[in-house]
């Protein structure tokens, strides 16, 4: 790209401001210390070229391959944030004395977590730290979200999520999310239906962890809109590991995806990849 280069650095997930009212979410591409307002680039050509370099987002060392979206292999094997229990919190093994980083676990896992319903490609259940709202919903491309329960620990949120997964999905169909094939839902009605249906299981969890462990939230649903000029009718993915150059007209931004007329790319997947952007 030569002198067309606007910025160069290691990618991290896009920063997203939720917007308000009719104002759509605002996206900022992050490459090292550089920032690029992507909403301002809608309808224009965008070029990204992976230089071949990858750096661990934790220790900064060069790595030939990225693990768990941004880590070198030693960090992937050593850090608590890369352990299986982060994806499956019900498998938390802190109390067994085998947590990889007990102090990290105390800071991140032993704090209030929220169980929520969201509509990104249809109804789904999810969990996150209270401090991660609404970021978590925007990263998933949710058009609606509703917090329903608060619990004291990440493990407890995992047990609640397992219960809800008996009746509702816990994953987003990212292709449907990008295509915009998502009908609005009455999340309060869905919440009430699920809470009634799952009442025995929730009662069992309260008996196990204490009557105050699962706290119902009287929250209002929130809605999000995204800056999309044109949604893809057929989703084709770009992949820096297969082709270092991604270029096309920027047609939209949703979740952690750039939507180009040539295909889509999940920038979060390539955290730590050094790229030139123009």
Question: Could you report the per-residue pLDDT of 239-251, keeping only the tens digit for each?
Answer: 999 999 999 999 9
Residues 29 and 42 in one domain: yes
108 found inside a domain: no
Residues 34 and 52 in one domain: yes
Query: pLDDT-derived band of residue 183, with 50, 70 and 90 as boundaries?
Result: very high
Residues 217 and 238 in one domain: no
Average pLDDT over residues 212-217: 96
Average pLDDT, the chain: 96
Q: Domain boundary residue among 223, 239, 263?
A: 223
Model pLDDT, residue 118:
98
Residues 151 and 140 in one domain: yes
76 found inside a domain: no
Task: Give 68-99 pLDDT, tens digit per residue.
Answer: 999 999 999 999 999 999 999 999 999 999 99
208 found inside a domain: yes
Q: What is the pTM of this model?
A: 0.94
pLDDT higher than threshold 90 for residue 3: no
pLDDT higher than threshold 80 for residue 21: no
Model pLDDT, residue 35:
96
pLDDT higher than threshold 50 for residue 11: yes
Average pLDDT over residues 249-276: 98
pLDDT-wise least confident of 180-184, 220-224, 256-260: 180-184
136 found inside a domain: yes
Task: Give 119-128 pLDDT, tens digit per residue.
Answer: 999 999 999 9
- Alpha carbons 207 and 205: distance in angstroms, whole number: 5
44 found inside a domain: yes
Average pLDDT over residues 138-153: 98
Residues 177 and 249 in one domain: no
- State the residue range of the domain holding 231: 2-71+226-277
Q: Domain boundary residue among 207, 223, 239?
A: 223
87 found inside a domain: no
Residues 148 and 213 in one domain: yes
42 found inside a domain: yes
At residue 22, what are phi and psi to the nearest 5 degrees?
Answer: -85, 0
Residues 253 and 183 in one domain: no
Task: Give 38-74 pLDDT, tens digit per residue.
Answer: 999 999 999 999 999 999 999 999 999 999 999 999 9
Residues 150 and 169 in one domain: yes
Model pLDDT, residue 22:
82
7 found inside a domain: yes
Model pLDDT, residue 4:
59
Domain count, the chain: 2
Residues 216 and 199 in one domain: yes
Residues 141 and 184 in one domain: yes
pLDDT higher than threshold 60 for residue 215: yes
Residues 136 and 214 in one domain: yes
The percent of residues above 70 in pLDDT, for the chain, comes to 98
Residues 133 and 63 in one domain: no
Model pLDDT, residue 1:
43
Q: Domain boundary residue among 196, 223, 250?
A: 223
């Amino acid at each position: 790209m030569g002198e067309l280069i606007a910025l160069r650095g290691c990618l991290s997930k896009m920063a997203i401001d939720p917007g308000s009212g009719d104002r759509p979410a605002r996206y900022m591409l992050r490459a090292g210390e550089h920032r690029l307002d992507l909403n301002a680039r809608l309808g224009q050509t965008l070029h990204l070229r992976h230089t071949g370099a990858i750096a661990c987002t934790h220790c900064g060392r060069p790595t030939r391959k990225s693990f768990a979206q941004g880590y070198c292999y030693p960090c992937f094997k050593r850090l608590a944030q890369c352990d299986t229990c982060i994806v499956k919190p019900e498998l938390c093994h802190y109390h067994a004395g085998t947590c990889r980083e007990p102090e990290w676990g105390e800071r991140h896992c032993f704090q209030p977590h929220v169980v929520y319903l969201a509509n990104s490609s249809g109804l789904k259940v999810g969990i996150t730290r209270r401090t991660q709202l609404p970021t978590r919903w925007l990263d998933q491309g949710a058009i609606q979200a509703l917090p329903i329960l608060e619990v004291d620990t990440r493990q407890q949120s995992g047990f609640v999520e397992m219960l809800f997964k008996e009746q509702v999905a816990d994953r987003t169909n990212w292709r449907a999310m990008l295509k915009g094939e998502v009908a609005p839902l009455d999340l309060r009605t869905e919440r009430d239906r699920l809470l009634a249906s799952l009442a025995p299981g929730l009662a069992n969890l309260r008996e196990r962890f204490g009557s105050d462990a699962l706290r119902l939230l009287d929250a209002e649903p929130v809605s999000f809109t995204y800056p999309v000029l044109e949604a893809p009718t057929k989703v084709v993915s770009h992949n820096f590991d297969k082709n270092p150059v991604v270029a096309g007209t920027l047609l939209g931004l949703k979740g952690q995806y750039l939507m180009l007329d040539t295909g889509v790319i999940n920038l979060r997947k390539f955290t730590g990849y050094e790229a030139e952007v123009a």
